[in-house]
Amino acid sequence: MGSDAKTPRREFLRKTGAAAAAGIAFPTIVTGRALGGTSTAAAASERIRIGFIGVGNQGTNNLKDFLKLKDAEVVAVCDVDKDRLAKAEKLAEQGGRKVAAFGDYRRLLDDKTIDAVVVTTPDHWHALATTDACVAGKDVYCEKPLSLTVAEGRTMVDVARDAKRIVQTGSQQRSDDKFRLACELVRSGRLGKIKQVKIHLPKVNFDGPAVPDGSPPPELDYNTWLGPAPDRPYNAKHVHYLFRFFWDYSGGQMTNFGAHHLDIAQWGLGRDDSGPVAIEARATFNKDGWFEVAETSSIVYSYDDGVEILCTQGEGSGPNVLFEGEKGSIAVSRGKISSTPDEILKEPLAKGDVHLYVSKNHHQNWLDCIKSRELPICDVAIGHRSATVCHLGNIAIRTGRKLVWDPAAETIVGDPEAAKMLSRPYRAPWRLPESPSAKAGAPARA
């Protein structure tokens, strides 16, 4: 347990929860210490104690970024790969700080002094780590895509709401001024009625060719790496970064970069709480079977107002997101934004235009919202809806059929076989926690 001086703040965070989500306003609390008094209550600027679950690749990048933030205190790291864990522990302990190291994330969650966790595991672990953390009273930053399946995402939203936790999805383009400006201009009517949004995703970057199955290296706890996924033999090109190209663990570039760019399309269309009503797709696959996901694809998402999103992966080139309307177009990519005609970008937003939630640092936004208990810029419900668009695209690719989607009921209509793909069974003994509202038959929809 932490010191008595830290306990009141943590109890306050646990009890207040996601106040904005519940429609509850809490009074501003000013401690005696903040006013120069002698109270032992923690100051409002006290650092948030964070544990990291998954520290390879993007996990290391997240760790480095949080180490730079003055109100974040890195206190624990966790990974099933001992080599990666040792490197992360060494990185986190620069500057004389001491951190705990775990091979099992559940032991990290047992630490009552940890306020929040950053989840950067393979996709098939996102839902379990996030929901278990919420139940343990931790706020969560979870990398995109939020989920492996649509059903997982809905459970993540329900559990987060019931536990009153702040859960940020790692869709950092929402904290980028260029992507935000593009969405503000679109939603302010600068392009007139939107006709189509074009999304371009990169080629598959699998490190081919394939290799035969083998024995896991001694540093990797492979059984735990698999977790809820089906029991498969170890293959060196199915783990770590390359997990994203196999259906058991991820959804290819559709859920990798699609989770970013389709999220921006949804934001610009004002569809954060909804989605398309029909999905059609065509795709090609690797002729040598190096990986399972689509090598190239073209997906058309149709919305109930006639707008279409055309998402192309691995074919040709283009901006990340292109909004096309009656009066012109706006193209936006990482580090670049342009419009046709040029005047669309030159005229500043007026007071009466749409001004979207401003965040210049995605990680800092999460920390700020942990303190304020306001919803972050890419709240779990938004991350769920954006991931759903990606999952529907992949289901259309895998079935080869047009899907009819009911975004209110969150189900595929008229195709029971495709509807079964909205969820996947977990390997025993792993299971997602049920939210109280789901048990009662009334999901806490957002």
Whether the Cβ atoms of residue 128 and residue 249 lie closer than 8 Å to each other: no
CA 278 – CA 420 distance, rounded (Å):
17
Looking at per-residue pLDDT, the higher value among 174 and 15 belongs to 174
Q: Which two tokens stand for residue 232?
A: 């498969």
Q: Which two tokens stand for residue 100?
A: 């705990």
| Average pLDDT of span 40-61 | 81
Residues in the chain: 446
Q: Which two tokens stand for residue 176?
A: 């980028």
Phi, psi of 28 (to 5 degrees): -70, 135
pLDDT > 90? residue 316: no
pLDDT band at 446 (very low <50, low <70, confident <90, very high): very low
Query: Which distant-in-sequence residues (6+ apart) come within 8 Å of 255 by Cβ?
Result: 123, 144, 145, 244, 387, 390, 391, 394
Q: Which two tokens stand for residue 9?
A: 């703040």
pLDDT of residue 437: 63
Cis preceding linkage at 209, omega within 30: yes
Identity (one letter) of the amino acid at 227? G
CA 168 – CA 221 distance, rounded (Å):
28
Mean residue pLDDT across the chain: 90
pLDDT band at 34 (very low <50, low <70, confident <90, very high): very low
CA distance to 43, 236, 360, 430, per residue, from 39 (Å): 9, 56, 34, 45
Neighbour tally for 305: CB within 10 Å: 10
End-to-end CA distance of the chain: 34
pLDDT of residue 441: 53
Whether the Cβ atoms of residue 122 and residue 116 lie closer than 8 Å to each other: no
Task: Return the percentage of the chain with pLDDT > 70, whole number.
Answer: 87
CA 171 – CA 187 distance, rounded (Å):
20
- Helix boundaries (H) for 374-415: 380-399
Neighbour tally for 320: CB within 10 Å: 22
Whether the Cβ atoms of residue 296 and residue 314 lie closer than 8 Å to each other: yes
pLDDT band at 440 (very low <50, low <70, confident <90, very high): low
CA 287 – CA 49 distance, rounded (Å):
48
pLDDT of residue 29: 27
pLDDT > 50? residue 356: yes
Least confident of 92-101, 263-272, 288-297: 92-101
pLDDT per residue as tens digits for the range 174-203: 999 999 999 999 999 999 999 999 999 999
pLDDT of residue 38: 32
Query: Which distant-in-sequence residues (6+ apart) come within 8 Å of 71 by Cβ?
Result: 45, 46, 47, 48, 367
pLDDT band at 36 (very low <50, low <70, confident <90, very high): very low
CA 252 – CA 328 distance, rounded (Å):
32
pLDDT band at 214 (very low <50, low <70, confident <90, very high): very high
Strand order in the sheet with 278-284: 336-340, 328-333, 321-325, 194-201, 308-313, 296-302, 278-284, 403-406, 411-412
Give the DSSP per-residue string, 190-245: TT-SEEEEEEEEPPP----S-----PPPTTB-HHHHHTTS------TTSSGGGGGG
| Average pLDDT of span 364-377 | 98
pLDDT > 60? residue 40: no
pLDDT of residue 39: 31
pLDDT of residue 117: 98
pLDDT of residue 445: 39
Phi, psi of 358 (to 5 degrees): -100, 125
pLDDT > 90? residue 18: no
Residue of 220, 211, 182, 202 whose CA lies nearest to 84: 220
DSSP class of residue 174 equals G
pLDDT > 70? residue 243: yes
pLDDT > 50? residue 250: yes
Phi, psi of 35 (to 5 degrees): -90, 5
Q: Which two tokens stand for residue 229?
A: 């996924």
pLDDT of residue 344: 97
pLDDT of residue 95: 78
**Strand 308-313 with 48-53, pairing:** unpaired
pLDDT > 70? residue 357: yes
pLDDT > 50? residue 108: yes
pLDDT of residue 86: 98
| Average pLDDT of span 78-97 | 95
Looking at per-residue pLDDT, the higher value among 335 and 31 belongs to 335
pLDDT > 80? residue 58: yes
Residues β-bridged to residue 331:
322, 338
pLDDT of residue 46: 79
pLDDT per residue as tens digits for the range 371-400: 999 999 999 999 999 999 999 999 999 999
